Amino acid sequence: MVAMPAVERPVGPEEVLQAFLKLDTPPGFKAELIEGDIVVTPPPDGEHESAFALLNRQFMRKAEAEFDLSGAKGLIVPTGRFIPDGAIGPVGHFLNAGSWADPSGVLLVFEVTSTNPTKDREQKRRGYASAGIPCYLLVDRGKGMVTLFTEPKGDDYLARNEVPFGKPIDLPAPFSFTLDTAPLR
């Protein structure tokens, strides 16, 4: 008997999506579909979680209005299915949303870079912009910088404000407060 070589065949976007939706990831891991690639990320480290907690506290204490902040809300964006580290919307915004929600009405998403910072710096920025999310806040641990992207147009943001860890960064309305980045150093 002769062994037959494996034959690869291209799969379409719908097949990739169906395979993605059937994934069963281990506890703590998250799976995302980013520009046609299935990306599985391990549980975050302590530094990542400290950065998330810092942002969470400041949004809940300092913002002029009340918001809901979700740390695990999956969003369906034009370039895939992303799970931002934080998604902020009006109070009750996520109440009836399923595991994967339409990003309409989300006011800001934030990411804290982890094992693959390029996806947060590039692909996710483009995906959030293409979904029309008004603000994308990136805590880039590798670069020691916090960047606020605003004014989404097409697949990118027109405006960006970048500060090194330790310098404050002003957030626009409806948040209207200065984010203290000193604890990120």
Instruction: Look at residue 185 in the predicted model and tell me its pLDDT.
Output: 86
pTM comes to: 0.91
Amino acid letter, residue 60:
M
Residue 183 structure tokens: 């604890």
Instruction: Look at residue 12 in the predicted model and tell me its pLDDT.
Output: 85
Instruction: Look at residue 115 in the predicted model and tell me its pLDDT.
Output: 79
In the chain, the domains with their CATH numbers are 44-184 (3.90.1570.10)
Return the beta strands (E) in 8-165 as ranges.
30-34, 37-41, 67-70, 74-77, 80-82, 86-90, 100-101, 108-112, 135-140, 145-153, 156-164
Q: What are phi and psi of 128, to 5 degrees?
A: -65, -40
Instruction: Look at residue 114 in the predicted model and tell me its pLDDT.
Output: 84
Instruction: Look at residue 109 in the predicted model and tell me its pLDDT.
Output: 98
Instruction: Look at residue 72 in the predicted model and tell me its pLDDT.
Output: 84
Per-residue pLDDT of the chain (185 residues; tens, 9 = 90+): 555 555 566 778 889 999 999 999 999 999 999 999 999 999 999 999 999 999 999 999 998 889 999 988 999 999 999 999 999 999 999 999 989 999 999 999 999 998 789 999 999 999 999 999 999 999 999 999 999 999 999 999 999 999 999 999 999 999 999 999 999 98
Instruction: Look at residue 11 in the predicted model and tell me its pLDDT.
Output: 76
Residue 42 structure tokens: 């391990």
d(CA 87, CA 134) in angstroms, rounded, equals: 12
